[in-house]
Structure 1
């Protein structure tokens, strides 16, 4: 009879996978992930059928966390700029607080091991942000670009902002605001 699965072990595997993928990329060996999680490698496959299944689930978990960081308390009734700033601050604050998760999601986002279905599921919760980007793009410098491009510009500016905040924590607010202003100037209606 198979033992019941433990939510603690599953979470330990996901946490270890985050750390190892952040350090070594998606080619990281499952043995390293299992060892970091404190489980036997065979146990890892009790929770995740394949390494790709683990990576896809990790991608979804990290996207879910990021989505909550960006959307919890989202000011839907506020002006577009307030909505964008809320999402921006949530993204930057999450990335600064979780540098390994940020590196892991970056690795996973460019990996061909993440299925199109997983990517779609990961993005599904960001519809509110995508709608805000779409509406904002109508008159900004990036108006003729697809929303995915604006999202990539946001991510790039946010990454730069996070790096500077990590280097100079005392200047965090300055960098957070400057990064947002650069992003908003690129997408906002003028």
Structure 2
């Protein structure tokens, strides 16, 4: 009879995968992930049938964490600018607090190892944010560009902001505000 799976082991594997992928990239061996998790490599495959299954679950796990931070108190009735500022601040704060998760999810997001259903599930949790983004660019200079372009600009500005906050934590509010203003002026102005 097989032993029941432990949620603690599963979480340890996901945490180890986050760290190892952030440090070594998606090509990191599962043996390294298992070692960091403190489990045998065979145990890793008891919880995840393949490396791709692990990567897909990791992506959804990190996206779920992001959603919890960013969307729990999302001000749905606020102005577009206030909603955008809220999302910006929560995302930047999350990224500064969890740099390994930020680096891992960035690599996973551009990977061909994620299934389409995983990508869709990861984005569904952010439907309100996507709607707000589309509304914010509707009359701005980016209105004739794909929404993914505005999202990429947001990501690049957020990454820059997070890097500066990590270097100079005492200036966090200054960089967070300046980054948002740069983003808002880029997407909303004509």
Return the TM-score normalized by structure 1: 0.97
2:117 aligns with 117
Alignment match, 1:103: 103
Residue 49 of structure 2 corresponds to which residue in structure 1? 49
- Distance in 1 (CA, whole Å) between partners of 2:178 and 2:100 is 24
1:86 aligns with 2:89: no
- Select between 66-75 and 32-41 the one with higher mean Cα deviation: 66-75
Partner residue, 2:61: 61
| Equivalent-residue separation in structure 2 for 1:82 and 1:182 (angstroms) | 15
For 1:37 and 1:138, the matched residues in 2 are separated by 46
Tell me the CA shift for residue 111 of structure 1: 1.2
Distance 2:80 2:189 in 1: 10
Where does residue 165 of structure 2 map in the other structure?
A: 165
SS at match of 1:144: coil
In structure 2, what is the equivalent of residue 27 of structure 1?
27
Q: Distance in 2 between matches of 1:189 and 1:55?
A: 38
More displaced stretch, 88-97 vs 68-77: 68-77
- Count residues with an aligned counterpart: 190
1:186 matched to which residue of 2? 186
Aligned equivalent of 1:132:
132
Is there any run of 5+ residues in structure 1 with no aligned partner, and where? none
Q: Alpha-carbon deviation of 1:66?
A: 1.3
Alignment TM-score, normalising by the size of structure 2: 0.97
